[in-house]
Amino acid sequence: MPGSLPISLLQRSSLRFMAHHKRQSWLTFTGIMLGVTMVVAVDLANSSARRAFALSLTSVAGNVTHQIVGGPLGIDEHVYSRIRTELAIRNSAPMVTGVVRIKGQNFRLIGSDPISEATIGRHVLGLHRGELKEALLNPNAVVLSERGANRLELSLNQTFSLQVTGREPEVKLVATFAADNPAATEGLIFTDIANAQTLLQRWGRLDRIDLVIDRDDQLRLEAWLPDELKLVESDSRNQSMQQMSDAFHINLTAMSLLALLVATLLIYNTMTLSVIQRRRTLGIYRTLGVSRGEIFNLVLSESLALAVIASAAGLVAGLLLGQLLVQLVTRTINDLYFSLHVSAFLIDPWSLLKGFSLGIVMTLISAFLPAWEANRTEPIAVQQRSALEEQWRSRLPFFVTVGLVFLLLGMLLVNREHGSLLEGFAALTMIVMGFCLVIPSIVVVLSRATILVIAPLPYQIVRIAIRGISSGISRTGLAVAALTVAVSVTVGVGIMVGSFRHTVAVWLDQALVGDVYISPTGLVSDDALRRVKQQLTGVDGIKHVVGSRVLNAESEFGPLRLMARTLTDVDTGMPMKEAVPGAEQLFLEGQGVLVSEPLAYHRQRGPGDTISLHTSEGPRQFPIVGVYFDYTSSQGMVVMQHELYRHWWSDDSLTGLTVVGKQGVTADKLLSETRRAIGLDLEHFTVISNGEIRQVALSVFDRTFVITDVMRLLAILVAAVSVLSALIALQLERTREFGILRATGMTPGQIRLMIIVQTLLIGLFAGLLAIPLGLLMAEVLIEVINRRAFGWSMQQTLPVDVLIQAMVLALGSAFLAGLYPAHKAATISPSMALREE
């Protein structure tokens, strides 16, 4: 009795097969590699951004357990000395931070006290070193990381100027340090706290006090702290900052997984192709006594070998693409969320491992069916070529049933009230998969319908081409499915982005009620903006000037944006979504606040509810009188009358002015009048017209979606390769048929035409099917994903150009993918083809 089976010769045969069919092996390789590349690149870009964020937090937060944060004006520095003396809490360090510009680049200025820093064990700078302490205590002395100094081309003891609070004070680089993690500190500039207060013109004020305290100290502090100050846990504060951009990261990951899904279809196609090509050989194996299980394992082990190599290549390509994506991700985060500096591309081993494993698992999953198909191979003596297609066709009703169940489940998840973002993605995946399962049956119906349409016409070649689609449905169905998914992503995301852009443009028109907006270029004293307001009052052409104050305020949900506005007329400039009766009047009288749509959605607060904000007199509940549309931040914003703000925060400062012109005054005239009135102070302010803000906002919007375009293009690329592999599979299966056609007088040109017609039809079907799937996807993206991720609602538009683009993309990629198989089929030697069994 034979022992266990050594299959080295079988494996050798497999390897030789792959080596002899290089193009095909490359296709499979490319499919796996592209899928892994997408996942790894996005993951690395995301993790680099997250890590940079975490590192920058750590570099300035250290092992701090709690922070004392203040109101809009920060913390009186006496509070710090009282904490140390009255409460005897020594593990505390004050900090002043602000944004400065050096040689046109943004840096975060950190003002700290070297002695206190040591008490909380924060040594990120090596501040415990005596010489550095000494250096920092010199007036105007600053310290940069070595990498930061190199980037700015600054040498030790060199004097240079900072742009801050509208001035350009000179500072001296007294020391550099080599950080353990250069990326974390590259965007930071350190100085003594007193210097920072002077540079930022925040004399006597602190931004926060960092503490390392236990539970007892926490309780004592909470009891002692003045009402306007709040003690927060360091972790929860950082987490809420991180959560802001989480939805953005999740969206990107979802797109990369969608690309992986398309890649899976491609891998399936190419693996099936390799099984088809060897059906005869596999049949011989079966005759010689190789069992079904052994053949199954053989095909799976081949895929595994390819998966390992291609996934490894995918990791390398992912590293390269990730470096490009991290720039796009960072730019978006900077535009939308918070200032983030990612200069170092961090290679997260976990991302690599995840990408590699996904490549292997997806390949094995997609190779499972081909391996099963191979394992069903009959011994050579009883092989029937048509058996496979027959089997496939008989399974179509099953696929349709399962597909419809998936679609139904997806729709149920979509319609669930207050479902999570992950449920939203699960719903989207189910809808896409459900649709994919129905596609082969639709393709059969469409093919038959097309034949009926062209029935009266004498186009035999076209007829053969169409029949080829339905008779090879196991291949063509998948090709159409892969292309449909990729193109539908273009349609869905295109509609979503178009609708979003349209909504933002309309919203900007409504929200930008002023004609000219003025904001300080850096931190200026309250007086400066107030003085400008005075200067503008009574200027020719100016109807009125409205001051506003925007700040980060503490709330029951952590820090959020608070805007205080002085509104002089009923038009609030805030398109309302929903409101209590008489909301405008209540708002103007300071009897309630407005909350932005994302805040209302995420925190499930609406008109009639209240929101707790931490005022100078401690936490206070404010009635919500309305929810307004807002696309400035997904974090959420609260708006209140300036008077109400002044009352609770005792803060009279302004951060911006809105100038409204008189009827008939042109924007240009108003802009020039405003600039003239500001006079010499103009350099300290940004004076920008309504139109310019609109333009800047929309360009930021467009930049945000560049990364989406990159992902869409990659998905299309994967789909095109998928169509190519499916067509090659078809061509291989029909070699004999082409031989007969050539032998009976069909010219190579006619064969070529036939294949091109077939591929164009595949493209047409995919394009047509991508439209309903894309519309469905857009609906889910707009109404579910974006809503759950960002809380934004959008007015759906149907840009015709997106639909035309989808058809062109589907036809174009199918046509290009068909050129090679058409050429191969046309150049088949009739005698060789007819010798094939």
Partner 1 sequence: MARSEYILLDDVHRTYQEAGRSHAVLKGLSLAMNSGEIIALLGRSGSGKSTLLNVISGIDKPDQGQVVVNGIDLTALSERELTLFRREHIGFIYQFFNLIPTLTARENIALVLELNGYSPTAVREISQTMLAAVDLSQAADRFPDRMSGGEQQRVAIARALAHSPGLVLADELTGTLDAETGQLVLKLLQKLVSDQGGTLLLVTHSLAVAKTADRVLTLEDGQLAEQEGSFAW
Which listed residue (12, 123, 385, 416) binds partner 1 by CB under 8 A?
12
Nearest-5° angle of CA 56, CA 62, CA 65?
A: 120
Query: Closer CB to partner 1, residue 26 or residue 705?
Result: 26
13 binds partner 1 (CB under 8 A): yes
7 binds partner 1 (CB under 8 A): yes
Query: Closer CB to partner 1, residue 287 or residue 750?
Result: 287
Q: How many CB atoms lie within 10 A of CB 491?
A: 29
Query: Closer CB to partner 1, residue 291 or residue 537?
Result: 291
CA 218 to the chain's CA centroid:
38
280 binds partner 1 (CB under 8 A): yes
Q: Where are the beta strands (DSSP E) in 4-140?
A: 66-69, 75-76, 92-102, 105-112
Could you tell me the end-to-end alpha-carbon distance of the chain, in angstroms, rounded to an integer? Answer: 34
Beta carbon of residue 292, minimum distance to partner 1 (angstroms, whole number) = 7
Q: Residues 337, 66, 98, 328: what is their CA dihedral angle, to the nearest 10 degrees?
A: -30
Query: Closer CB to partner 1, residue 146 or residue 294?
Result: 294
Give the integer Cα–Cα distance in Å for 620 and 593: 12
9 binds partner 1 (CB under 8 A): yes
Nearest-5° angle of CA 655, CA 661, CA 667?
A: 95
Query: Closer CB to partner 1, residue 291 or residue 401?
Result: 291
Part of the chain binding partner 1 (CB under 8 A), chosen from 138-146, 150-158, 276-284, 448-456: 276-284
For partner 1, the binding residues in 34-73 under the rule CB under 8 A are none
4 binds partner 1 (CB under 8 A): yes
The 3-state secondary structure of 716-728, one letter per residue: HHHHHHHHHHHHH
What element of type H or E holds 386? none
281 binds partner 1 (CB under 8 A): yes
Which listed residue (353, 382, 422, 505) binds partner 1 by CB under 8 A?
382
Query: Closer CB to partner 1, residue 86 or residue 837?
Result: 837
Quote the DSSP letter at residue 794.
-
What element of type H or E holds 518? strand 516-520
Query: Closer CB to partner 1, residue 5 or residue 361?
Result: 5
Query: Closer CB to partner 1, residue 381 or residue 452?
Result: 381
**Can you give the C-alpha Rg of the chain in angstroms?**
33
Helix, strand or coil for residue 404? helix
Query: Closer CB to partner 1, residue 21 or residue 108?
Result: 21
Part of the chain binding partner 1 (CB under 8 A), chosen from 35-43, 373-381, 394-402, 468-476: 373-381
Query: Closer CB to partner 1, residue 305 or residue 753?
Result: 305
452 Cβ contact partners less than 8 Å away, ≥ 6 residues apart = none
Q: Where are the beta strands (DSSP E) in 80-185?
A: 92-102, 105-112, 141-145, 159-161, 170-177
Beta carbon of residue 32, minimum distance to partner 1 (angstroms, whole number) = 22
394 binds partner 1 (CB under 8 A): no
380 binds partner 1 (CB under 8 A): yes
8 binds partner 1 (CB under 8 A): yes
Segment 332-335 long-range contacts (CB within 8 Å, at least 24 positions apart): 332/248, 332/703, 332/704, 332/707, 333/49, 333/53, 333/245, 333/248, 335/700, 335/703, 335/704
Which listed residue (87, 284, 667, 819) binds partner 1 by CB under 8 A?
284
Part of the chain binding partner 1 (CB under 8 A), chosen from 78-86, 206-214, 282-290, 781-789: 282-290
Give the integer Cα–Cα distance in Å for 533 and 107: 30
Which listed residue (62, 379, 419, 575) binds partner 1 by CB under 8 A?
379
455 binds partner 1 (CB under 8 A): no
680 binds partner 1 (CB under 8 A): no
Give the integer Cα–Cα distance in Å for 157 and 196: 19
Note whether 299 and 369 are within 8 A (CB).
no
Note whether 336 and 248 are within 8 A (CB).
yes
Give the integer Cα–Cα distance in Å for 767 and 485: 10
Query: Closer CB to partner 1, residue 116 or residue 303?
Result: 303
6 binds partner 1 (CB under 8 A): yes
Query: Closer CB to partner 1, residue 3 or residue 679?
Result: 3
1 binds partner 1 (CB under 8 A): yes
738 binds partner 1 (CB under 8 A): no
Give the integer Cα–Cα distance in Å for 808 and 805: 5
800 binds partner 1 (CB under 8 A): no
Give the integer Cα–Cα distance in Å for 204 and 210: 17
837 binds partner 1 (CB under 8 A): yes
Query: Closer CB to partner 1, residue 300 or residue 611?
Result: 300
What element of type H or E holds 594? strand 593-596
The conformational region for residue 566 under phi > 0 = left, psi -120 to 50 = alpha, else beta, is beta
Which listed residue (177, 268, 285, 601) binds partner 1 by CB under 8 A?
285
For partner 1, the binding residues in 286-305 under the rule CB under 8 A are 286-293
Query: Closer CB to partner 1, residue 17 or residue 820?
Result: 17
Query: Closer CB to partner 1, residue 280 or residue 531?
Result: 280
3 binds partner 1 (CB under 8 A): yes
Give the integer Cα–Cα distance in Å for 470 and 477: 8
378 binds partner 1 (CB under 8 A): yes
Give the integer Cα–Cα distance in Å for 273 and 724: 11
Query: Closer CB to partner 1, residue 1 or residue 223?
Result: 1
Beta carbon of residue 274, minimum distance to partner 1 (angstroms, whole number) = 12
Q: How many CB atoms lie within 10 A of CB 581?
A: 8
Give the integer Cα–Cα distance in Å for 223 and 225: 6
Quote the DSSP letter at residue 783.
I
Beta carbon of residue 836, minimum distance to partner 1 (angstroms, whole number) = 10
Part of the chain binding partner 1 (CB under 8 A), chosen from 14-22, 296-304, 641-649, 700-708: 14-22
Query: Closer CB to partner 1, residue 288 or residue 455?
Result: 288
Part of the chain binding partner 1 (CB under 8 A), chosen from 193-201, 281-289, 611-619, 633-641: 281-289
Query: By rule CB under 8 A, what count of residues binds partner 1?
Result: 34
Part of the chain binding partner 1 (CB under 8 A), chosen from 10-18, 298-306, 327-335, 781-789: 10-18
Part of the chain binding partner 1 (CB under 8 A), chosen from 127-135, 280-288, 419-427, 766-774: 280-288
Phi and psi of 106, rounded to 5°? -80, 135
Part of the chain binding partner 1 (CB under 8 A), chosen from 182-190, 346-354, 377-385, 695-703: 377-385
Q: How many CB atoms lie within 10 A of CB 157?
A: 11
Q: How many CB atoms lie within 10 A of CB 522?
A: 19
Part of the chain binding partner 1 (CB under 8 A), chosen from 223-231, 372-380, 539-547, 574-582: 372-380
Part of the chain binding partner 1 (CB under 8 A), chosen from 2-10, 85-93, 126-134, 467-475: 2-10
718 Cβ contact partners less than 8 Å away, ≥ 6 residues apart = 31, 34, 35, 38, 259, 262, 263, 266, 482, 486
Beta carbon of residue 382, minimum distance to partner 1 (angstroms, whole number) = 6
Which listed residue (10, 276, 491, 528) binds partner 1 by CB under 8 A?
10
Closest by Cα among 121, 116, 118, 100 to 188 = 100
Residue 774, Cβ density class (10 Å: 0-12 exposed, 13-18 middle, ≥19 buried): buried
Binding site for partner 1 (CB under 8 A): 1-10, 12-14, 16-17, 20, 280-281, 284-293, 378-382, 837
